A and B are shown apart, each in its own frame.
Chain A
Amino acid sequence: MANQMDISVEQQPKTTVGEPVLANEKEKERQVYREIAQMDSFKLLVKKKKKFLFSTTILFLIAYIMLPVLTSFTSVLEHRVIGKITWVWVYSLSLFVMTIVLCEVYKYRAGKFDKEVEKIMKEYGDSK
């Protein structure tokens, strides 16, 4: 579990809540989001995250869709591995293993991203 990290809402800049004038508050809130979005460290984080998320997603989707492609248009998965167990079962179950492994990889990476977010928030807080 990634519960060591704490970027809970309480620690974030309190600029967004509790201001008396509503329109003003909305504008202030916008200002905060704009400023964070323009920070170099934040932009870098978003870029890194996207690269990790989408490259992994494309890879596992290809591994997945190869299963029906291979069973429909080739017979490579029909050969036996041990006894009567054919490769198609081994391939399918390795997709299960892949799912569990990638799930754990994600949790690990996301924990690291959490830490970076925490750092960025601190950097933002200090600049105020």
Chain B
Amino acid sequence: MSIVTISFFLGIVGLTLFVTYLAAKKTSSASDFYTAGGGLKGWQNGLAISGDYLSAAAFLGVSGAIALSGFDGFFFSVGYVVANLVVLYIIAEPLRNLGRYTLADMITARFNEKRVRAAAALSTITIVILYMIAQLVGAGALIQLLFGIDYWIAVLIVGIMMTIYVLFGGMGATSWVQIIKACLLLFGTGLMSFLVLRHFDYSIINMFDKVSQATEHGDNFLNSGVKYTNGFDSISMLIALVLGTGGLPHILMRFFTVKDARTARTSISWTTWITSIFFTLTIFLGFGAAAFVGVKDIMAANAAGNLAAPLLAEYLGGNVLLSFICAVAFATILAVVSGLVLTGASAISHDLYGEILKKGQLTEKQQMLAARVGSIVLAACSILLALGAQSLNVSFLVSFAFCIAASANLPVILYTIYWKRFTSTGAIAATITGLVSCLVLGALSPNVWNLEGTAIFVGEALFPLTNPAIITVPLGFLAGYIGSMLSKKEENDDVFDEITVKANTGMGVSDISH
């Protein structure tokens, strides 16, 4: 490690700790802890949501995937960008108007039953843990490669840092870490894209031309089919991406950090612009890496292509740019896992402990204590799981988390807001069916079973698709429908009136949040 690398690295750590210190002084209630007191501005929350979208998987993963398989790598980018619209059109505003800290709060605004809350909390925790293992294992491997530190030390460093941010600074610190990281990442990718374009004489046509000659795939590199040969698999994955984003608990939670529906709207508008620009730039990163670094060297550094962007940075700007991009990648990982810890803690401490076990009778002080204990427990479990999962190929867990979010959470959110005949039995049926069908089909998929022994078990996969969303999303919706129709119509006309009025007018937001 050079002195430049160390200073960038320490700079990021110092800056984020300073922000945590400032946020800690403002974190005195449960509302501060879970939602930064609902006091974020639209642009701040917009940048923070962008930070959640632009995870290490998106930055390193997508640019690497484009470098290795051309257009097929870019599929992810399209999914992430269009997902903004689903969130904006059907989720953001009603969610802000109905919820308080968690997804379960929003659903129990309509069905005030413990079992409904428990089901929602269960799916939140499952998604958070899957996502978290993927991020931590990825982070450990990455830091090991970037800085030459042992895997277990790398996981511990990330684990301790995320715990500090969340424990002391709550959502305030987590949001600001996201904001800082989003700005650094945008600057870094913008600069690299410019340099790549300069190497192609500022001509995009020239860039496509050169790239088509740079890899063994030739012209096929510029079309779909290098990576995805099964049409249903790519359709299924794109369904999971576009519908799953709107059901991911750590994204949903971000909407409670703003004061009203209009600010929620502004946030996602910022996110839309930022992610559209960022994911367009991933083309330059991917193509640049393919043309200048070369597939052979990228694969030699990491078979999945995760180091394509850092290697490209080294080619373009030497050790300084490499160190900067690595530091940004490190910040990216920290920011995303912190958001995950907070979301998981909200489900454990607020939903399961505070609302179900203690029936919502906790004082402000007890709530804060529960939130902090929950964060530590969740962080500790994730670190242990990540240490044990080192040798597993976990990259599929992320798309899997999207799949559960789309199948278990999205149907319940939509039915709760828009369907009058929906019942609590329907809510539980949808959540459990979505969750279980994803887990079962996922366990039978080629990610877990294959004959070559590159998956977890050796054997033939019973289910042919790597991502089951194309089956599980309709199943989730169907289960919610059938569950509702088979159960007795609830005498909840009043409650549905209340939900409709609140969702559409924002009435009562002041009573339920700050």
Question: Told that A46-B500, A57-B90, A106-B265 touch, could you supply 4 new A-B pairs with CB distance under 8 A?
Answer: A33-B501, A36-B505, A83-B208, A93-B280
What is the CA–CA distance of A82 and B269 in the complex, to the nearest angstrom? 32
Tell whether, in the assembled complex, residue A103 and residue B497 are in contact, meaning their CB atoms are under 8 Å apart.
Answer: no
Contact B89 A53 (CB under 8 A): yes
B390 on interface, CB distance cutoff 8 Å: no
B260–A8 CB distance below 8 A: yes
A-B pairs with the 7 shortest C-beta distances? A72-B231, A71-B224, A83-B205, A37-B497, A33-B498, A9-B510, A84-B208
User: B204 an interface residue at 8 Å Cβ cutoff?
Assistant: yes
Number of interface residues of A (CB under 8 A): 62
A90 → chain B closest CB, angstroms: 12
Q: In A84-128, which residues have CB < 8 Å from any B CB? A: 84-86, 88-89, 92-93, 95-96, 98-100, 102-104, 106-107, 110, 114, 117, 120-121
- 29 A/B residue pairs, CB under 8 Å, sorted by A: A2-B262, A2-B265, A7-B506, A8-B260, A34-B494, A36-B505, A37-B501, A46-B504, A57-B89, A61-B86, A64-B82, A65-B235, A67-B238, A69-B235, A71-B223, A72-B228, A72-B235, A73-B231, A89-B283, A92-B71, A95-B81, A96-B78, A96-B276, A99-B272, A99-B276, A106-B265, A107-B266, A110-B262, A110-B265
Could you say which interface size class chain B belongs to?
A: 35 or more
Residues of B within 8 A of A71 (CB): 71, 223-225, 234
Flag whether A24 is at the interface (Cβ < 8 A).
no
Q: Is the CB of A56 within 8 A of B209?
A: no
Verify if B279 is at the interface (C-beta below 8 Å from A).
Answer: yes
Q: Looking at chain A's contact residues, is the secondary structure mostly helix, strand, loop, or mixed?
A: helix
Bound Cα distance from A53 to B510, whole angstroms = 26
**Known contacts A12-B507, A56-B89, A68-B235: does B224 contact A84 (CB below 8 Å)?**
no
**Chain B neighbourhood of A120, CB < 8 A:** 505
B82/A95 in contact, CB under 8 A = yes
Of chain A, the residue at the smallest CB distance from B273 is: A100
Q: Is the CB of A1 within 8 A of B266?
A: yes
- Residues from chain B with Cβ under 8 Å of A83 in the complex: 205-206, 208-209
The answer to whether B75 has its CB under 8 Å from any CB of chain A is yes
| CB closest chain-A residue, reference B504 | A46
Cβ–Cβ < 8 Å partners of B504 in chain A: 42, 45-46, 49, 117
- Closest-by-CB residue of B relative to A84 is B208
Chain A, residues 1-43, CB within 8 Å of chain B (1/0): the string is 1110101110010001100000000000110011011100010
Give the complex CA separation of A84 and B268 in angstroms. Answer: 34
| Bound CA span A65–B280, Å | 19
| Chain B contacts for A77, CB-based, 8 A | 223-224
Complex Cα distance, B321 from A81, in Å, reads: 35
Closest to A113 in B: B504
Binary per-residue interface labels of chain B (204-248) against chain A in the complex, 1 for a CB within 8 Å, 0 otherwise: 111011001000000100111100100110110011001000000
Residue pair B90, A53 in contact (C-beta under 8 Å):
yes
B78 partner residues in chain A, CB cutoff 8 A:
64, 67, 92, 95-96
- Set of chain A residues within 8 Å of B265, measured between Cβ atoms: 2, 106-107, 110
Contact of A89 among B71, B206, B219 (CB under 8 A): B71
Per-residue contact bits, chain B 502-514, to A (CB 8 Å; 1 contact, 0 not)? 1011111111000
Any chain B CB within 8 A of the CB of A50? yes
What separation, in Å, do the CA atoms of A16 and B208 have in the docked complex?
62
Contact, CB under 8 Å: A85 / B260: no
Chain B residues with CB under 8 A of A89: 71, 74, 208, 222, 283
- A17 shortest CB reach to chain B, Å: 6
B418 on the A face (CB < 8 A): yes
| B505/A7 in contact, CB under 8 A | yes
Q: Which of A33, A67, A73, A82 contacts B497 (CB 8 A)?
A: A33
Whether the Cβ atoms of B89 and A106 lie closer than 8 Å is yes
Flag if B511 contacts A17 (CB, 8 Å): yes
State whether the Cβ of B93 lies closer than 8 Å to any Cβ in chain A.
yes
Most buried by A among B238, B273, B507: B507
Question: Which chain B residue shows the least CB distance to A50?
Answer: B418
B85 touches A92 (CB 8 A): no
Residue of B82, B204, B225 near A99 (CB, 8 A) is B82
Measured CB to CB, the nearest residue on chain A to B509 is A9
By a CB distance below 8 angstroms, the chain B residues around A50 are 418
Contact of B242 with A64 in the complex, beta carbons under 8 Å: yes
> Which one of A17, A86, A93, A114 contacts B222 once the chains associate, using CB atoms below 8 Å?
A86
B306 at the interface (CB under 8 A from A): no
B88 at the interface (CB under 8 A from A): yes
> Is B175 an interface residue, CB under 8 A from the partner?
no
Does B332 lie at the interface of the complex (its beta carbon under 8 Å from any beta carbon of A)?
Answer: no
Smallest beta-carbon distance A41→chain B, Å: 12
| B501 CB contacts on chain A under 8 angstroms | 33, 36-37, 42
A88 to B74 alpha-carbon distance, docked (Å): 10
In whole angstroms, how far apart are the Cα atoms of A44 and B90 in the complex? 18
B84 within 8 A of A: yes
For B82, the chain A residues whose CB sits under 8 A away are: 60, 64, 95, 98-99
- Separation of A50 and B417 alpha carbons in the complex (Å): 11
Contact A84 B81 (CB under 8 A): no
- Identify B262's interface contact among A5, A60, A96, CB under 8 A: A5
Q: Decide: B234 and A68 in contact? CB cutoff 8 A.
A: yes
Q: Could you tell me the distance between the alpha carbons of A73 and B506 in the complex, rounded to whole angstroms?
A: 45
B242 to A61, Cβ gap below 8 A?
yes
CB-defined contacts of B511 to chain A, threshold 8 Å: 16-17
Cα–Cα distance between A68 and B232 once the two chains are bound (Å): 9
Which A residues are in CB contact (< 8 Å) with B497? 33-34, 36-38
Do A121 and B266 form a contact, CB below 8 Å, given A16-B511, A65-B235?
A: no
